[in-house]
Amino acid sequence: MAVTGIVVSPGIAFGQAVHISLHHQKVDYRLLPVAQIANECEKAIKATAFLTSHLQNCQSKIAADSEHFHLIDADIMLLEDEDLADELKKYITRFRFSAEVSIERVFAQHADELAQLDDPYMANRSNDVICLGKRLMSAVNGTLLWDVSKLDENSILLAEDLTPAEFATIPLNKIKGIVLKTGGLTSHTAILAKAAGIPALLSCQFDSNDINDGTALIIDAITGELHINPNEFTQQQLQQKSQQEIERRQALKQYIDVPSITIDGHSVCLLANVSSLSDVCQIQDIGAAGIGLFRTEFLLMQVDSVPNEKQQFQLYCDALHSLNGKVLTIRTFDIGADKEIPCLSQNYEDNPALGVRGIRYSLQHKTLFSTQIKAILRAANHGRIRLLFPMVNQIEELEQIFEIIDWCKQQLVDEEKGFGDINIGIMVETPAAVLNLPHLLPKLDFISIGSNDLTQYTLAADRGNPELVKDYPPVSPAMIKFIKMAVDECKAHQTKVCLCGELASDPKLISLLVGLGIDELSVNSASLLDVKAAICNGKFEMFAQQAKKALTLSHIDKLTELLS
Ligand code: PEP
Ligand code: MG
């Protein structure tokens, strides 16, 4: 039996199912019949004991001086606290809530109290408390939420959904593939899975009743199929296909040390997108000319507090060191929308994609922003850094950014720390940013088109919503026009234009983007050699003709046909 999904990270994976459930718990909010109260109290107490003993078991396997050990300790202390048991019993008996609802309420209240405290460490604990509450709710039904000990090297993760922060907690060496029921092609979880080179299918409507933990699975993340309990014949066929894919990738390695130049001599600067220091260290192996996008917000996803200026400075210097003279484009923290940062406070918003995100968040949190800018300016003394700002729409925002940069420089002078020269650019991710380029470009050294968001805001289609696959096509007439407008404006101002959204990682679209006049492409590292091969095996003259033709087309399917 097979079900289909969207391929976000190509490859073939063989393994066994492991269901994980991270959030989205269905809870019954109806009041309990009086006769059930004692039973429900019993359930809450048993669940607490069950989770405590599981955590103690996990703790016994890790080093006593590790941070993880202390975090588990804090969770155990809370679970063993007698006040917790009393509170739960009170909610069940007095308010007649089920064990799950009582846990949800009690933990939410406790998390709120912590969040109000002045002590930033305790305020950070508030999220941990919510997580612990969710695990306890799950333990009521005898399951352990997100239990890493369930994983072995052959695991294929099955889940409803996975946020980028949750993805960051997965031990990637322990899994073969990922299948999610939700998620769109350019969601951040998809981008991370692709960069990690893990075959992944999103938006895959498998029925959890057909797949127990341990069921044999094969992900064919080339055709977009999940095979459940595959027969011998399917297994053999996919083994062969997997071998061919391995050989294809092996053959691509011939491009590692080759410059990215078309047959007729047009050079395209090919850079890599990264989200961690270890990604940066790997770019020599994939033949990138440097880093075109360092998504620094991912540095914050797994930490308890934001690294200070010195720690960030050290990290950027380490990145420069491993780049050995190649350019490092650092994007300041792009917080908001689907990128929740557990260690930072973010208010609830009805429309987070249209809310306090990107540069808006930074301008509202100036200490966070200026600390990062100072670290980057200092690191620029030690190598080639370009500074990139996310989601800038307006000249006023840019003026504020420059004021803050000047203030940071003055601080560094006063503190006798020194700083280096830096090129400054913005991400062009909204129609407003494209239309405002004539005002913005005189102040900039480069721009980088963020096609993931530019598509989302141009077509008013949520990039992470699997229902909108047709409404969020990789290329559309409106997007091509916006890219062309941005390129023309940059040429008029002699400013370099890069494109760093996932469009640049699709080998089929390279002719269009290069033909439209993009100078630099910054791509998902997993696709870099495919993209380089597309450049090296093409002619710029043909690319330009194709782009010209694409600009005349009015239908998405005609465009897709032209580019396939
Ligand atoms: C983009 O929007 O295209 C982009 C590169 O930024 P992110 O995917 O991190 O939003
Ligand atoms: Mg973006």
Q: How far is the CA of 431 from the centre of ligand 1 (A)?
A: 14
What DSSP line would sit under 232-301, residue for residue?
A: HHHHHHHHHHHHHHHHHHHHHGGGTTS--B-TTS-B-EEEEEESSHHHHHTHHHHT-SEEEEEEGGGGGT
From 82, 108, 141, the end of a domain falls on 141
Q: What is the distance between the alpha carbons of residues 154 and 242, in angstroms, rounded to a whole number?
A: 16
The string of pLDDT tens digits covering residues 187-196 is: 777 888 888 8
Residues 499 and 367 in one domain: yes
Residue 202 lies in a domain: yes
The confidence score (pLDDT) of residue 149 equals 61
Atom of ligand 1 nearest to the CA of 449: 3
Number of domain units in the chain: 3
Around ion ligand 2, which residues have CB less than 5 A away? 429, 450, 453
Residues 213 and 292 in one domain: no
CATH number of residue 242's parent domain: 3.50.30.10
Query: Residue 70 catalytic?
Result: no
The pTM of this model reads 0.78
Residues 160 and 109 in one domain: no
Residue 400 lies in a domain: yes
Residues 359 and 456 in one domain: yes
Residue 207 lies in a domain: yes
Q: How far is the CA of 335 from the centre of ligand 2 (A)?
A: 10
Residue 30 lies in a domain: no
The string of pLDDT tens digits covering residues 1-34 is: 889 998 988 899 999 999 886 554 567 788 888 9
Atom of ligand 1 nearest to the CA of 453: 2
CATH number of residue 47's parent domain: 1.10.274.10
Q: What is the distance between the alpha carbons of residues 434 and 393, in angstroms, rounded to a whole number?
A: 8
Residues 63 and 199 in one domain: no
Q: Average pLDDT in the 292-317 region? A: 92
Residues 480 and 421 in one domain: yes
Query: Residue 382 catalytic?
Result: no
Atom 6 (ligand 1) nearest CA: 450
With H, G, I as helix, E, B as strand and everything else as coil, classify residue 461: coil
Residue 353 lies in a domain: yes
> Does the Cβ of 452 fall within 6 Å of ligand 1?
yes
H helices within 35-187, ranges in order? Answer: 37-59, 67-80, 82-95, 99-116, 120-140, 164-167
β 155-159/175-180 pair status: parallel
* Closest-approaching ligand to the CA atom of 455: 1
Residues 202 and 238 in one domain: yes
Q: Which domain holds residue 111?
A: 35-141
β 2-4/175-180 pair status: unpaired
The confidence score (pLDDT) of residue 63 equals 67
Residues 523 and 404 in one domain: yes
Residues 427 and 294 in one domain: yes
Residue 499 lies in a domain: yes
Residues 56 and 133 in one domain: yes
* CA nearest to 426, candidates 340, 490, 355: 490
Atom 1 (ligand 1) nearest CA: 450
Q: What is the distance between the alpha carbons of residues 239 and 218, in angstroms, rounded to a whole number?
A: 10
Q: What percent of the chain has pLDDT over 70?
A: 94
Atom of ligand 1 nearest to the CA of 188: 8
The string of pLDDT tens digits covering residues 309-344 is: 999 999 999 999 999 999 999 999 999 988 878 788
From 205, 227, 250, the end of a domain falls on 250
The string of pLDDT tens digits covering residues 51-80 is: 888 778 767 766 676 556 777 788 889 999
Contact 404, 366 (CB under 8 A): yes
Q: How many residues are given for the chain? A: 564
Residue 28 lies in a domain: no
Which of 41, 58, 110, 188 is catalytic? The answer is: 188
Q: What is the distance between the alpha carbons of residues 519 and 88, in angstroms, rounded to a whole number?
A: 61
> Does the Cβ of 225 fall within 6 Å of ligand 1?
no
Q: What share of the chain is helix, strand, coil (3-state, %, to 5)?
A: 55, 15, 30
Residues 304 and 211 in one domain: no
Q: How far is the CA of 379 from the centre of ligand 1 (A)?
A: 24
The pair of structure tokens assigned to 413 is 């002078």
* Closest-approaching ligand to the CA atom of 191: 1
CATH number of residue 298's parent domain: 3.20.20.60
> Does the Cβ of 501 fall within 6 Å of ligand 1?
yes
From 225, 250, 275, the end of a domain falls on 250
Residues 222 and 291 in one domain: no
Instruction: Describe the strand order of the beta sheet including 175-180 as a list of residue ranges.
Output: 2-4, 225-228, 216-221, 11-19, 155-159, 175-180, 200-202, 6-9
> Of the residues 185, 186, 509, which should be mutated to test ligand 1's pocket, given the most ligand atoms within 8 Å of the CB?
186
* Closest-approaching ligand to the CA atom of 186: 1
Residue 168 lies in a domain: yes
